[in-house]
Structure 1
Amino acid sequence: MKNRVVRGVAGSFILISLLLAIYVNMNWLWFTAFVGVNLFQSSLTKWCLLETILEKFGITD
């Protein structure tokens, strides 16, 4: 369950920031890059801040 939520949130953030970059300001692409860097970092370290936050809210696997 937790993995699906993390992937859903990351995908939503990327899509929303791309839409904001197209319709509002190109600087929203920095947010897209931030999400991508965090995904890459979590694949290397096996630690994700969102997973920690979800555990505090009681969402587990």
Structure 2
Amino acid sequence: MSVERATMAFAGFMVMLSMLLTATVHHGFIWLTLFVGANLFQSAFTRICPASMLMRKLGMKTEAEIALGK
């Protein structure tokens, strides 16, 4: 799995988890949903995403690296 796909999967999981926690535990978890959404929005413009940076440090490859066979 590439960094790009893993980042999308992680963001989707976090949104679903935060909505589940909001519905079942405490309404304050809605702020987690807002944080994830805001992070996705800013990363679309700045190309800076803490989750993808962490995944790269853990050794995951980007789509380009996989396509080039690196």
Residue 4 (structure 1) aligned with residue 8 (structure 2): no
- Consecutive unaligned residues of structure 2, counting only runs of 5 or more, are 63-70
Which amino acid in the other structure matches residue 52 of structure 1? M
CA RMSD of aligned residues (A): 0.6
With normalisation by structure 2, the TM-score equals: 0.84
Deviation at 1:49, TM superposition (A): 1.0
Tell me the alpha carbon deviations over residues 11-52 of structure 1, each in whole angstroms, 9 at most, x when there is no partner. Answer: 000000000000111100000000000000100101111111
Q: Paired residue for 1:14?
A: 15
State which structure, 1 or 2, has the greater radius of gyration over its C-alpha atoms. Answer: 2
Identity across matched positions, percent: 34
Partners of 1:56 and 1:4 lie apart in 2 by 16
- Consecutive unaligned residues of structure 1, counting only runs of 5 or more, are none
Spell out structure 1 runs of 4+ moving beyond 4 A.
Answer: none
